[in-house]
Structure 1
Amino acid sequence: MKEFISKIIYSILTGRDYRTYVLATINKRFIDKAQELISEVFEYKRRGDNWLEKLLEDFSKKMGKENKFKLLWFGGLNDKTVKNMTGGTSTKEVCLDLGKMNIKALKLILEESESRENLYQIKIIIKKGHEQVELDDVESLFFVNIISAMKLTIQGGAWSEVGKKTEKRLLFVIFRLLKIPEDNYILTTEEMKRKGLVENREIDAIVFSKDKEPLTIELKLLGIGNPEIGDEALARKVGLFLIDRLTEMMKKEAEKIGTKVIEFRQENPLMEIYKFFTSKNVDCSPPKKMTPKELENEINGIMKEWREETEDLTLIKKLKEWTK
């Protein structure tokens, strides 16, 4: 994801579709994880029968989040499915039991199928160098199930990560491009939200006017779209709501309650943000006129200055100053 963040930010600020980079992240992770899972299947299949059950047993004993994911995948499951089945529990013991049950269930379906000979057959061969293992038709279906479970996990996680990794950095870039003094804004952290230092946990930043009046900002990247998130954000009545896209009905609703909505898909969203800030007496400068390439280079330069730890320390310093 890191290598694509600057490109995602550039795409957002120029109204372009950033989803290509999210999909690139998903596909890169898919290839990497598929190689890991294939190597495990290859090694265990070489050792003999019941390789899938042995995989489950062995990974249930290994420590770490990554190994828990693999335990789920080898059972053809993902964390969300397990929690839905158990009412919120996904311990390793539960994952192991449900994984075994899932394998038995698939075997049972195939064994009881009267017309199995009429089904299309899948037989997977895994090669490494001069060696190879061949999975029978049942094992091959298990393998497809394993890869599918992994893909679902990665796909959901990547879309969620776009928000977590990009939103704070995007605001940092916007503030820098508009030359808002560092002392005049804070980028809220998860720690601040957990400790209740920010009244609303969804607020992503606070910008202070020249009169020290706070302006709350919420930013949401919906990608394909999730109207419910827009509804929830408007209910919080923030000062500025930045979003990639919003329905006309929601924009009218925002206007009624006094929340300014700026869509990144509109023409020159950066200028619209600047105009709004100046209307609120925020100390800022209009964005420089730049060619697309110059803007991309500027964003890359700003991102090189971004340090999560430094920003957090700066925030602590600001809080101390404000609470004297």
Structure 2
Amino acid sequence: MTVTGIVIKNIIRKLLAGQDYRSEVLSLINAEFLQYVVDFFKRIAWAKLDNENVTADWYKKELLCLDSLTKEEVAVHSGLNMKTISNMYNSASKQIVLEASLEHYDTLYDAINSLTEQDNIDVALTIKFRDVSVDLNINESLIVINTLAVKRSALRGGYWSTAGKQVEKPLMIALCALFKVPKKYYDQRNLPESQRESDFYLFDDTGKDYPGEVKLMGKGNPESADAVYARDSRFLVANKLSDTNKQQMDSEGILWVELQTENGYKRFEEVLKTLSIPYEPFTGDLQSTLDRILPVILSDDVQDSVTPEVVLSESEQRNESGSELLVEF
């Protein structure tokens, strides 16, 4: 799954403004899911146009066994997700996915048959497309509903993970640019293998590195604090932190920034000051300044890398004093 630069910029704006960013991700999930639903229903309608009977056998033939289907599509159509298959079989090859999906589909269909035979309940879906009506009985309807539920779950997990990973470094670069930290103090080039686990690094004048974590999770989520301790991080930037998280980090000497509070981003100044990173206090208008910073960090297109090129490449004109800023304002 991919996220465009436009969405990443919108998320950064909301985070730095102390707002909840989740609406941006939910909009992506909803848009792709609804498009999937329409396409999925069209496929069934086209089968009727081709004079095929929409049966359990048809579903298996058209939505599980076609060579043109990707393994991800096969898994979802059967009611499974790829992670479950990988965990169960220690493999996610197409052959394994197909075998697991067919087995699961047969089990699911038998369970639905047993349920509908015992309970006096009826559910029917009617799909209309170009004046052609397709009716699905209760068994077929429940299979379709289950498939849509699995697809929604897969989209949700994928987009939350992707958005988090692709926002982390651009967010930190934007913070550094806001406080006019010279680029050399957050240059992410050529990090040793031992330093690639942390989300972001700051460097002082001696070259000493300070690993940091960026966690866009809900309040009180233990993973936020766990990652900081596991990677021996010096600072954490998060959208929400519980009082317990803050107290624990204070006692361990770990610096933290909670963005979803009024002017929460300004606490990053304390991080820079404590770590002896050169900076200037920010007193300007946040959104108008971001108008200048964000286009330098990201284009509006789909982002191929989680680390913007602006902190990976040499400057065209090398500044020997080491005071070059990402953006002048």
Query: 1:260: Cα distance to partner?
Result: 0.9
Tell me how far apart the structure 2 counterparts of residues 80 and 129 of structure 1 sit (CA, whole Å). Answer: 37
Query: 1:128: Cα distance to partner?
Result: 1.6
Query: 1:35: Cα distance to partner?
Result: 2.2
Seen in structure 2, the aligned counterparts of structure 1 residues 224 and 125 have a Cα distance that, compared at 3 Å, is farther
Residue equivalent to 1:94? 96
TM-score, normalising length from structure 2? Answer: 0.82
* Residues 258 and 265 in structure 2, CA contact (< 8 A), matched pair in contact too: no
Residue equivalent to 2:326? none
Seen in structure 2, the aligned counterparts of structure 1 residues 129 and 245 have a Cα distance that, compared at 3 Å, is same
The alignment status of 1:62 with 2:68, answered yes or no, reads: yes
* Residues 186 and 202 in structure 2, CA contact (< 8 A), matched pair in contact too: yes
The 3-state SS of whatever aligns with 1:90 is: coil
Tell me how far apart the structure 2 counterparts of residues 314 and 21 of structure 1 sit (CA, whole Å). Answer: 25
Give the letter aligned to residue 186 of structure 1: D
Tell me how far apart the structure 2 counterparts of residues 113 and 311 of structure 1 sit (CA, whole Å). Answer: 52
Residue equivalent to 1:218? 213
Give the letter aligned to residue 79 of structure 2: G
Q: Percent identity at matched positions?
A: 25
Tell me how far apart the structure 1 counterparts of residues 18 and 274 of structure 2 sit (CA, whole Å). Answer: 23
Give the letter aligned to residue 162 of structure 1: A
Q: How does 1:226-241 map to 2 (within 5 A)?
A: 226-241=221-236
Query: 1:116: Cα distance to partner?
Result: 4.1
Give the letter aligned to residue 248 of structure 1: D
* Residues 237 and 259 in structure 1, CA contact (< 8 A), matched pair in contact too: no
The 3-state SS of whatever aligns with 1:118 is: coil
Residue equivalent to 2:126? 125
Query: 1:62: Cα distance to partner?
Result: 2.5
Residue equivalent to 1:174? 175
The 3-state SS of whatever aligns with 1:206 is: strand
Q: How does 1:180-191 map to 2 (within 5 A)?
A: 180-187=181-188
Residue equivalent to 1:78? 81
Q: How many residues align?
A: 305
Query: 1:201: Cα distance to partner?
Result: 3.3
Residue equivalent to 1:201? 196
Seen in structure 2, the aligned counterparts of structure 1 residues 52 and 279 have a Cα distance that, compared at 3 Å, is same
Query: 1:27: Cα distance to partner?
Result: 0.8
Give the letter aligned to residue 91 of structure 1: S
Residue equivalent to 2:323? none
Query: 1:282: Cα distance to partner?
Result: 1.5
- CA-to-aligned-CA distance 1:48-107 (integer Å, 9 cap, x gap): 342211124444x227xxx22211111111112222332x22222222223222332233
Residue equivalent to 2:289? 298
Give the letter aligned to residue 144 of structure 1: I
Q: How does 1:274-285 map to 2 (within 5 A)?
A: 274-285=269-280
Query: 1:113: Cα distance to partner?
Result: 4.1
Query: 1:170: Cα distance to partner?
Result: 0.6
Residue equivalent to 1:34? 37
* Residues 198 and 231 in structure 2, CA contact (< 8 A), matched pair in contact too: no
* Residues 236 and 257 in structure 2, CA contact (< 8 A), matched pair in contact too: yes
The alignment status of 1:22 with 2:25, answered yes or no, reads: yes
Q: How does 1:36-51 map to 2 (within 5 A)?
A: 36-46=39-49, 47-48=52-53, 49=55, 50-51=57-58
The 3-state SS of whatever aligns with 2:194 is: coil
Give the letter aligned to residue 68 of structure 2: K
Seen in structure 2, the aligned counterparts of structure 1 residues 170 and 114 have a Cα distance that, compared at 3 Å, is closer
* Residues 234 and 259 in structure 1, CA contact (< 8 A), matched pair in contact too: no
- CA-to-aligned-CA distance 1:138-195 (integer Å, 9 cap, x gap): 111111111111111001111111211111111111111111112221246xxx67xx
Moved more, 105-114 or 238-247: 105-114
Pairwise CA RMSD: 2.8
Give the letter aligned to residue 95 of structure 1: V
Residue equivalent to 2:139? 138
Query: After TM superposition, which residue ranges in structure 1, 4 or more long, deviate above 3 angstroms?
Result: 56-59, 110-117, 210-213, 307-314
Structure 2 gaps of 5+ residues are 321-329
Tell me how far apart the structure 1 counterparts of residues 308 and 115 of structure 2 sit (CA, whole Å). Answer: 60
* Residues 270 and 287 in structure 1, CA contact (< 8 A), matched pair in contact too: no
The alignment status of 1:154 with 2:160, answered yes or no, reads: no
Tell me how far apart the structure 1 counterparts of residues 64 and 33 of structure 2 sit (CA, whole Å). Answer: 24
TM-score, normalising length from structure 1? Answer: 0.83
- CA-to-aligned-CA distance 1:267-299 (integer Å, 9 cap, x gap): 322321113312332221111332xxxx33432
Seen in structure 2, the aligned counterparts of structure 1 residues 207 and 103 have a Cα distance that, compared at 3 Å, is closer
Tell me how far apart the structure 2 counterparts of residues 20 and 12 of structure 1 sit (CA, whole Å). Answer: 12
Residue equivalent to 1:109? 111
Structure 1 or 2: more helix by fraction: 1
Tell me how far apart the structure 2 counterparts of residues 225 and 255 of structure 1 sit (CA, whole Å). Answer: 16
Q: Which has the higher contact order (CA 8 A, sep 6+)?
A: 2
